Amino acid sequence: MEFPGGRCEDNEEAVEPSARREAEEEVGVYPQTLENLGRFLQNTRRSAHYIHVFLGTDLDMRSSSPEPVEFIEWSWHAEQEIDEMIRRGEIEEVILLAA
């Protein structure tokens, strides 16, 4: 399991356009509304790289055009189901847990 993600392009001054672009490219979902849930450091000892977390709503379904290594097969999960997946050890990756 993973979330769409990537880096801001050189011409993107804010992270919101990048979040929308990555969601559209990787899974074909364009969020009309983004709620900034916060940010955290990926590794405080070795990097100043922040991970920004958004909740996207008012979704437009579009065709995706991911790079071959970026293809994400996606599915919807209720919040309670995600909690259960964490308890069962099905979600262990630290960035997913932090988000």
Q: What is the CATH number of the domain that holds 19?
A: 3.90.79.10
Q: How many domains, in total, are found in the chain?
A: 1
Residue 31, domain member (yes or no): yes
* DSSP letter (8 states) at residue 52: E
pLDDT in tens, 63-87: 776 666 666 677 778 889 988 988 9
pTM of this prediction?
Answer: 0.68
In the block, tokens 């849930």 appear at: 37
Write out the residue range of the structural domain in which residue 88 sits.
Answer: 15-98
CA distances from 78 to 4, 42, 43, 83, 98 (A): 18, 26, 29, 9, 17
Residue 7, domain member (yes or no): no
CA distance 71 to 43: 25
Residue 8, domain member (yes or no): no
pLDDT in tens, 9-66: 555 568 888 889 888 888 888 999 999 988 888 776 777 778 888 888 999 988 776 6
Q: ∠2-18-22 over CA atoms, to 5°?
A: 40
